[in-house]
């Protein structure tokens, strides 16, 4: 089992998510920003390797405006060797990488323009992982999308539009159960029709489920991953005590996490901690895991 955290390390004094305003776009600005982001990503992964943190989600703004029409510069070619080096570092350390486009990516939208922009954004995400020369275990996770007043139709549309995505995107894609519209059972339906594997979000499952226990849900989600796709990916977070519903906790609760590990041990997933203090909780979680294994 690998433990990870998303997008940024709060301790090392750099961010791999630097961006700029669209109005300030220039090829020079783009190149400077990507260079800084890649350098910071490399530093982040080095930090993670030293701390036994072997799972990391790369933020979507690694290459700002990558799928926007304004971006006509061949950044992929410009930074080819840097991407490759980062990917090799990850591979050498047994790391797994993932990405998670944000809520604007909706491949089941009604508006063809939204679908087209979403597809372009997915091409960019898959391209980052391809440039790093990572195997199929490195995934791009999205939600099924909106309901548009007719959930069954929206789910059908996801499956139809999935088939129209390019092969490089399809081989990276995974879907995640959300907290309000499409739960694990919906994801399983989509999986049966498309083969896309399911990222299990434990917190979302608490909010929306069909009565499956966490243990059962883990087993069902794990079965959607082929050997070459790597182990099941899990997003782990907990409700911040006393805060608005949906807000993530500030710190890891080691006892709750240990209880979760007891349920997860059979399927042995890779676990992404969506907790606000990022690497601090991940390091603590690695310690909890090691204590259990000892």
Contact flag: residue 22 with DNA (CB under 7 A): yes
Contact flag: residue 44 with DNA (CB under 7 A): no
Pick between residue 164 and residue 180 the one whose CB is nearest to DNA.
Answer: 180
Which residue stretch of 61-69, 158-166, 191-199, 226-234 sits at the interface with DNA (rule: CB under 7 A)? Answer: 61-69
Q: Which two tokens stand for residue 5?
A: 């955290």
Closest CA to 249 of 289, 280, 293: 280
Contact flag: residue 76 with DNA (CB under 7 A): no
- Residue list 137-156, contact with DNA (CB under 7 A): 145-149, 154
Contact flag: residue 18 with DNA (CB under 7 A): yes
CB of 17 to DNA, least distance (A): 4
Contact flag: residue 159 with DNA (CB under 7 A): no
Among 76, 114, 223, 288, binds DNA (CB under 7 A): 114
Which residue stretch of 165-173, 209-217, 243-251, 286-294 sits at the interface with DNA (rule: CB under 7 A)? Answer: 243-251
CB of 117 to DNA, least distance (A): 6
Instruction: Report the C-alpha gap between 78 and 28 in whole angstroms.
Output: 12
∠ CA 229-284-15, nearest 5°, is 70
Q: Are 282 and 5 in contact (CB under 8 A)?
A: yes
Pick between residue 224 and residue 249 the one whose CB is nearest to DNA.
Answer: 249
Contact flag: residue 24 with DNA (CB under 7 A): yes
Contact flag: residue 20 with DNA (CB under 7 A): yes
H or E stretch at 58: strand 55-58
Instruction: Report the C-alpha gap between 21 and 4 in whole angstroms.
Output: 30
Contact flag: residue 8 with DNA (CB under 7 A): yes
Among 11, 80, 88, 247, binds DNA (CB under 7 A): 247
Contact flag: residue 5 with DNA (CB under 7 A): no
Of the chain, the end-to-end C-alpha distance in Å amounts to 14
Contact flag: residue 274 with DNA (CB under 7 A): yes
Rounded to the nearest 10°, the torsion over CA 6, 193, 127, 96 is 40
Which residue stretch of 113-121, 164-172, 223-231, 257-265 sits at the interface with DNA (rule: CB under 7 A)? Answer: 113-121
Contact flag: residue 180 with DNA (CB under 7 A): yes
Instruction: Report the C-alpha gap between 171 and 166 in whole angstroms.
Output: 9
Full DSSP string of 181-242: S--HHHHHHHHHHH---EEEEHHHHHHS-SS--HHHHHHHHHTT--GGG-SPEEEE--BPTT
Q: Which two tokens stand for residue 252?
A: 């890891």
Residues that bind DNA (CB under 7 A): 7-8, 15, 17-24, 60-61, 64-68, 102-106, 109-111, 114, 117, 121, 145-149, 154, 179-181, 244, 246-248, 274, 276
């Amino acid at each position: 089992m690998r433990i990870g955290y998303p997008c940024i390390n709060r301790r090392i004094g750099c961010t791999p998510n630097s961006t700029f305003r669209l109005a300030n776009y220039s090829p020079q600005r783009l190149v400077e920003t990507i260079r800084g982001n890649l350098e910071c990503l490399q530093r982040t992964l080095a930090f993670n390797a030293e701390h036994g943190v072997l799972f990391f989600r790369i933020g979507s703004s690694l290459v700002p405006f990558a799928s926007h029409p304004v971006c006509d510069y061949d950044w992929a070619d410009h930074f080819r060797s840097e991407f490759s080096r980062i990917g090799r570092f990850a591979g050498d350390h047994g790391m797994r990488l993932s990405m998670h486009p944000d809520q604007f990516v909706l491949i089941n939208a009604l508006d063809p323009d939204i679908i087209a922009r979403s597809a372009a954004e997915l091409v960019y995400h898959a391209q980052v992982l391809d440039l790093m020369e990572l195997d199929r275990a490195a995934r791009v996770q999205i939600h099924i999308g909106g309901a548009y007043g007719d959930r069954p139709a929206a789910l059908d549309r996801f499956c139809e539009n999935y088939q129209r995505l390019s092969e490089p995107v399809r081989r990276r894609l995974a879907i995640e159960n959300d907290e309000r519209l499409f739960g694990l059972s919906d994801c399983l339906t989509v999986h049966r029709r498309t083969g896309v594997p399911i990222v299990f979000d434990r917190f979302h499952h608490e909010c929306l489920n069909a009565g499956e226990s966490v243990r059962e849900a883990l087993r069902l989600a794990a079965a959607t991953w082929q050997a070459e796709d790597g182990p099941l990916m899990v997003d782990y977070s907990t409700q911040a005590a006393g805060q608005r519903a949906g807000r993530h906790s500030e710190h890891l609760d080691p006892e709750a996490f240990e209880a979760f590990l007891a349920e997860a041990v059979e399927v042995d997933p890779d676990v992404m901690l969506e907790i606000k203090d990022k690497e601090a909780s991940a390091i603590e979680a690695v310690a909890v895991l090691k204590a259990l294994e000892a």
